[in-house]
Amino acid sequence: MTENPSQTQAPGPGGPPAGSENLLRILTSPWVAQAVYTVARFDIADRLADGPRTSEELAEATGLDPDALYRIMRTLSSFGVFRGLGDRRFALDTAGQLLRDGVPGTQKYSALLFGEETFRSWGEVLHSARTGRPAFDEIYGKTFYDYLSDHPAGSENFNRVMGGAAIVPPVAESFDFGPYKHVVDVGGGTGALLVSILSRHPHLSGTLFDLPEAITQAEQELDGPVRERCSLAAGSFLDRAPAGGDVYLLSRVLHNWGDGDAAAILRNVRAAMSPGGRLLIFERFLPDDDSPHMGKIFDLVMLVVLGGRERSSNEYGALLAETGFRPVREIEGPRNMGLLEAEAI
């Protein structure tokens, strides 16, 4: 999102007014995303992994209506998901490859996450606009994480999305863990980041701390030599954080929470630390001004689904200053993500 396309279109004589194509693309994009959700939900990309098939064959395999599936697939052939080969045969195109299970960079689980409960929240966006509170809670009668606690399949999918994020390895590489001994990953999900750090640094041990569902999933999935250096602890960071670390991680945690809860989490982490200990905050930092930035769409997800907010590094700095930390430095990462290092004072 580097430029505003509406400003780059000149109105043609007798043609549509400037910005109308851009606006139409914006207005129809939820439909395209839901079509992608549908093919992800029925594993269509996985079923095309070995080569092209007809929409009739795929409909028979999935129980979908043949004509409906054909119309969905031909639409998505205009968006780089499939390639229509004629006679209702389709192959995977580049974006479609990333809807397959298990391929590096797969976004299949994101398609499911964005397409299900979170999508319903957008239907009640006016509630968030009027109240500043998440539409999700209004629809489901509970917070997003409480909902996941009650829906193991949704929780498993969410943890897969988080654990599979391509941004995990750069964090593990961007900080010098040499002088430290024990890393506590607070809200660390099923441990992808912690495992990646412990694998690179054999002298380190670690503690993974998250809600019981994530820790249960981690217990099932973690193995190998790193497992012996990694203890697992279930609990809520709104109540406490495990003691004993000299480095604490909060990766993509604080943006899920409003300022009051984010400060409470930071205070609990600070209470578990000794002075001089390091806190690494990994987040998508927004610019302080109103310039275009992809993180702003995730800020709306925080508003509508979670009740959190994306922040600038200065805003994180202000939260750190009021909770017993001193910001030390900021390291830019991929995909508009960054690492903010702070010292417990």
Ligand X SMILES: C[S@@+](CC[C@H](N)C(=O)[O-])C[C@H]1O[C@@H](n2cnc3c(N)ncnc32)[C@H](O)[C@@H]1O
Residues that bind ligand X (CB under 6 A): 145, 162, 165, 187-189, 193, 210-211, 214, 236-238, 251-253, 256
Q: Which amino acid is at 77?
A: S
The residue (of 134 and 188) whose beta carbon lies closer to ligand X is 188
Q: Using an 8 Å Cβ cutoff, are 286 and 231 in contact?
A: no
Distance between CA atoms of 260 and 208, rounded to whole angstroms?
24
Assigned token pair, 279: 């806190």
SS (H, E, C) 209-250: EECHHHHHHHHHHCCCHHHHCEEEEECCCCCCCCCCCCEEEE
How far apart are CB 28 and ligand X at their closest, in Å? Answer: 29
Nearer to ligand X, 58 or 254 (CB): 254
Q: Beta-strand (E) ranges in the chain?
A: 53-54, 82-86, 89-92, 182-186, 205-210, 230-234, 247-251, 278-284, 325-332, 337-344
For ligand X, the closer of residues 26 and 243 by Cβ is 243
Q: How far is the CB of 282 from ligand X (least distance, A)?
A: 7
Residue with Cβ nearer ligand X (48 or 226): 226
Question: How many CA within 13 A on the CB side of residue 131?
Answer: 13
Is 151 a residue of the active site? no
What is the closest distance, in whole angstroms, from the C-beta atom of residue 239 to ligand X in the complex?
8
| Minimal distance, residue 194 CB to ligand X, in Å | 9
Give φ, ψ of 266 to 5 degrees. Answer: -65, -40
Set 127, 182, 255, 293: catalytic member? 255
> Two tokens at 325?
């930390």
Q: Which residues are catalytic?
A: 255
